[in-house]
Amino acid sequence: MYLEKHKCLHTALLILVLLGTCMVIGDGVLTPAISVFSAVSGLELSMSNNHHQYAVVPITCFILVCLFALQHYGTHRVGFLFAPVVVAWLLCISALGLYNIIYWNPHVYQALSPYYMFKFLKKTKKGGWMSLGGILLCITGSEAMFADLGHFSYAAIQIAFTFLVYPALILAYMGQTAYLSQHHDNTNHIGFYISVPEKLRIPVLIIAILASVVGSQAIISGTFSIINQSQSLGCFPRVKVVHTSDKIHGQIYIPEINWMLMILCVAVTIGFRDTKHMGNASGLAVMTVMLVTTCLTSLVIILCWHKPPIVALSFLLFFGSVELLYFSASLTKFTEGAWLPMLLALILMTIMFIWHYATIKKYEFDLHNKVSLEWLLALGSSLGIARVPGIGLVFTDLTSGIPANFSRFVTNLPAFHRVLVFVCIKSVPVPYVPPAERYLVGRVGPPAHRSYRCIVRYGYRDVHQDVDSFETELAARLADFINYDWHRAHGTYSFPEDNASLSNESSTECRLAVIGTVSFSSIPPYEVEESVQPASVSGGFPTVDSVTDVIEMEPVGVVERRVRFATDDESVTHSSADMDFQMQGELEDLSTAQQAGTAFIIGHSHVQAKQGSSVLKRLALNFGYNFLRRNCRGPDVALKVPPVSLLEVGMVYIV
């Protein structure tokens, strides 16, 4: 309740989440560069100083270009090689670690005791604290595994990390420590390959390069995934998302982001040319992500898990203090490479915040400029308005009322389709929406007007349908709704609260029904009293109302509607003898309109800051947002609307 009351906290929470998201994207730039570069840098022990500096950077750039050039094929074609490569790499570094421990210093296991950590910090003081920023490479990369949460379960990742990855890393670093304890005078080469026996360096180099490619692929896939989820939640400009696998859900490819990542990775490799600066940059990005994740998890403990605040505070203090120590140490490396992730995060946060802010303002403008239902019902032949054959799909962000772009359309072209459907596509804050809960359908006006409202809900990880299947599915859902509404109106099933609800809704739109996939002849429908918001979506996750729905429902004072969860059948099995004559006519009109064709009516927006706005707001909206809008994918392209069926209505938003 405290968070809900203070809007400044909403903004602070949004900025915190955007910061973590941008740092993950920045990690998608830095991790491939440092992974491949550090693997290829093993050549320096096999080449002279004059030659290796001219070989490592070009070879690294070549591997990176090949890695990003192959992204559009998807990981499912070569994914079967990933597990053997990673297992081989982990077993390789484990074996090397054991060899170095036994051969050089068997007592190095004592370094696992926290006593030496405190002794080190007590002895070195400020120097020891500053050195923490230089050892972040020991943990960077391990977080990339969690980018694969879309492909594997929590238990699988936890088991793999606990029983394979973590022991392998500990053995590898203990082995390097054992070697360095006997060779601490050699300051020219302090790295992984110096502790590898000379005869094994080439095979280890090959495995390391392959493992670096697999690790890079993990964070690249994670970057694609988080950008796709961000744009689904209205926090990133629309980009093209290609699903590379028909069988494995979640494997996606974003062309624009892919090539931008490639250019940035190559630029980082050529610009830094050493693992020290790349490590400092990557370390700051990873520690920022971890710190933000800890802060957000403490909120999840209270808001979602419903634990006492003392539990969340203890969690935050324990993990946050450790991460804050490393984070502050990594900030001291600002001039040594750590400036890069901060610069990338600043640019990305600016883009994402401007896009999100303008999206909210556009929604508020639509909300306050929508027209009443009476205006729509008054349109008729007496005013020179014609109804043409076909289905008109009017896309809007509103879940109630008539959008301003439709009134502008009718004003300039006094005609609209025989069957009119106001379609609202909502991205709700859950990963997936079950198909049975995807469509909410209701009437707009009396049955004779042939106007409907359909809210289509997608989770932020759902795959959106193409236009052909969407048209077919929408028409089927409309037919099912008409069938359901006929049963309800004629009392085939009992609805004890109908009389009470009708009195509240007599002057507004009719109720919306969730049209599922269960047979009409089975269990009777049941009612759930709630407002028409994405919070009604069940997905096994605690959900909250989205910002846009809160904005819509609060100031306007729309009466609360009852969402009726209905059951249906894909094919209408009732005989024509039992069907009402008006029902037959409505279904025939729908079928005739579907055969005549479908038109997609979409608003083409231009945003301007209103008079008297601050300079910052004018720059953000007039230049920043409109530049992003012109250079990203339009709503018609995102919805895959064929140009021959598209009708665009120009709209100027003064916000």
Q: Which DSSP string corresponds to 437-452?
A: GSEEEEESS-GGG-EE
What is the spatial distance between Cα 116 and Cα 109, in angstroms, rounded to a whole number?
11
What is the spatial distance between Cα 547 and Cα 465, in angstroms, rounded to a whole number?
25
pLDDT at 430: 80
Contacts 24+ apart (CB under 8 A), 11-15: 13/299, 14/353, 14/356, 15/349, 15/353
What is the spatial distance between Cα 282 and Cα 223, in angstroms, rounded to a whole number?
15
Q: What value does the mean pLDDT of the chain take?
A: 80
Sheet-wide strand order for 598-608: 526-529, 562-566, 512-515, 439-443, 451-459, 415-428, 386-395, 598-608, 646-654
User: What SS3 state is found at 402?
Assistant: strand
Percentages helix, strand, coil for the chain (3-state, rounded to 5) are: 60, 10, 25
Residue with tokens 């069957």: 419
pLDDT at 397: 87
What is the spatial distance between Cα 642 and Cα 584, in angstroms, rounded to a whole number?
31
What is the spatial distance between Cα 497 and Cα 516, in angstroms, rounded to a whole number?
21
264 neighbors 234 (Cβ within 8 angstroms): no
589 neighbors 450 (Cβ within 8 angstroms): yes
What is the spatial distance between Cα 449 and Cα 454, in angstroms, rounded to a whole number?
15
pLDDT at 552: 40
What is the spatial distance between Cα 291 and Cα 324, in angstroms, rounded to a whole number?
7
User: What SS3 state is found at 253?
Assistant: strand
Amino acid identity of 466?
D
State whether the Cα torsion 325-328-332-337 is positive or negative: positive
The structure tokens listed for 288 are 């920022």
Residue with tokens 């579907």: 594
Sequence-distant (≥ 6) Cβ neighbours of residue 275 within 8 angstroms: 34, 37, 38, 41, 137, 191
Q: Which of 185, 197, 154, 233 is closest to 42 using CA atoms?
A: 197
Residue with tokens 């007599």: 506
The pLDDT tens digits for 587-609 are 889 999 989 989 999 988 889 99
pLDDT at 248: 66
pLDDT at 266: 95
pLDDT at 275: 83
The structure tokens listed for 99 are 């060899």
**Which ranges of the chain have pLDDT less than 70?**
48-53, 77, 141-152, 186-190, 246-250, 380-383, 489-510, 516-580
